[in-house]
Amino acid sequence: MLVPGRVFADRSFIERADEEKALDQVRNVACLPGIEMASLAMPDIHWGYGFAIGGVAAFRMEDGVISPGGVGYDIACGVRLIRTNLLAAEVMGTVPSLINELYGRIPAGVGRHGDIRLNQKEMSQLLMKGAPWVIEQGFGRREDIEAMEDGGVLEGADPAMVSSRAIERGFGQPGTLGAGNHFIEVQLVDEIYDEKAAEAYGVFKGQLCIMAHSGSRGLGHQVCSEYIKIMGGAASRAGIELPDRQLACAPIQSREGREYYAAMACAVNFARTNRQVMTHLIRESFEYVFRMSAEKLGLDLVYDVSHNLAKFEEHGGEGEKKRLCVHRKGATRSFPAGHPEVPARYRSVGQPVIVPGDMGTASYLLKGTEKAMAESFGSTCHGAGRVMGRRAARKVINGHELKARLEARGITVRTGKTSALAEEAPEAYKDIDKVVAVCHEVGLSLKVARLRPMGVIKG
Active site residue ranges: 382
Alpha carbons 107 and 175: distance in angstroms, whole number: 8
Alpha carbons 431 and 437: distance in angstroms, whole number: 10
Residue of 256, 206, 251 whose CA lies nearest to 228? 256
Residue type at position 388: M
* Sequence-distant (≥ 6) Cβ neighbours of residue 195 within 8 angstroms: none
Residue 153 DSSP class: -
Q: Is residue 243 within a helix (H) or strand (E), and if so which, with residue range? A: none
Residue 386 DSSP class: B
Alpha-carbon Rg for the chain in angstroms: 20
Cα–Cα–Cα angle for 379, 385, 333, rounded to 5 degrees:
15
> Bridge partners of 312?
325
Alpha carbons 424 and 417: distance in angstroms, whole number: 12
Residue 53: exposure state from Cβ atoms within 10 A (0-12, 13-18, ≥19): buried
* Sequence-distant (≥ 6) Cβ neighbours of residue 93 within 8 angstroms: none
Alpha carbons 231 and 237: distance in angstroms, whole number: 10
Alpha carbons 224 and 222: distance in angstroms, whole number: 5
Contact of 249 with 243, CB cutoff 8 Å: no
Contact of 197 with 349, CB cutoff 8 Å: yes
Alpha carbons 76 and 216: distance in angstroms, whole number: 6
Helix ranges (H only) for 203-340 are: 217-237, 255-290, 294-297
Alpha carbons 55 and 40: distance in angstroms, whole number: 6
Contact of 351 with 326, CB cutoff 8 Å: no
